[in-house]
A = this chain, B = another copy of it.
């Protein structure tokens, strides 16, 4: 197959967003697919993961991961299928996972991708429950918060891909779990499908009041996906030796002004509480452990997951922007092509 002459669509960062990103911040450009050299593989993009943390990479600020460059392709978790291989490790038809470009095809070195076992779970699960978001939930909750049976766990962004997994693992560990989400439908999903003990609709309820009512014995663990006023409401309810894995702060990602709130120092001192930021990259040497545990729970029926799948490469940006509207239940993905 000679696809090097063929053109494909690619999404680049045209300008750094100010506030909420908009379609104009991105370019859809036509670019050659390219050719494979020794050790390389040509992949047809099947599913693209869109994630809140990508908003941070669109800023030109120091962070745990380099910012996206202007006029370069945006990258994220991608599942694709090998259509041509000059690698001994991959064959045509293999389904693979990698951090790849937002484009219809990618030519990549064999070291940048790993093969997916199609028989273990639906392939998309490798971008969600047994992939980045599931692993993020696993390590943040178990390594930082270390839940003990009988403790009270509060999760914000609870109907999202990370939050819904956190709550279920917390239930597996014998805790009492309170989820905070933004629609009644999401709250019902948490209660009826995932077995959460309580769910708070932060758009309808007064969060400090609802949290105090839902946590009569205080809060031992707060898994923070959102930051902002929802997190502010947690601090006065912390128990002695509380733990707060700080995973995301989606409420502030599009802020233009400095994100101001009550300072947390006094609450931390009063309770000897721990707050720790983290990203999945901190656990790169333990991915195998997390993957095994999640796959086992999934196959035992102890973990459920949802995906919100938008169809068509033209809708990648729409799907990304939907994250900030809270439109997604579970993992937000874009389907670009079928897997054979």
Contact = CB atoms under 8 A, between A and B. Distances in A.
Interface of A: 56, 61-64, 224, 227-228, 231, 240, 246-249, 252, 258-279, 282
Contact of A272 (B61, B228, B274, B279): B279
B269 A246 contact: yes
A234 to B, nearest CB: 11
A215 to B, nearest CB: 14
B277 A272 contact: yes
Contacts of A260: 260-263
Nearest to A275: B275
A265 B273 CA distance: 15
B227 A270 contact: no
Contacts of A228: 263
B262 A64 contact: no
Which A-B residue pairs are the 8 nearest by beta carbons? Answer: A268-B277, A227-B265, A269-B277, A249-B265, A63-B270, A275-B275, A274-B276, A261-B263
A269 B262 CA distance: 18
Query: Which residue, of A228, A258, A262, A277, has the highest number of chain B Cβ atoms within 10 A?
Result: A277
A276 B275 contact: yes
A128 to B, nearest CB: 20
Nearest to A241: B282
Nearest to A274: B276
A119 to B, nearest CB: 35
A265 B282 CA distance: 17
26 contacts: A56-B270, A64-B272, A224-B265, A228-B263, A231-B263, A246-B265, A246-B269, A252-B263, A252-B265, A252-B266, A259-B263, A260-B263, A261-B263, A264-B275, A265-B277, A267-B277, A268-B276, A269-B278, A269-B279, A270-B277, A272-B276, A272-B279, A272-B282, A273-B277, A274-B275, A274-B277
A224 B276 CA distance: 16
Given A271-B64, A274-B275, A277-B273, A266 B282 contact: no
A64 B270 contact: yes
A135 B48 CA distance: 53
Given A246-B269, A268-B275, A263 B64 contact: no
Nearest to A236: B62
Contacts of A276: 268, 272-275
A267 B240 CA distance: 24
B277 A271 contact: yes
A171 to B, nearest CB: 25
A144 to B, nearest CB: 9
Query: Which residue, of A240, A274, A275, has the highest number of chain B Cβ atoms within 10 A?
Result: A275
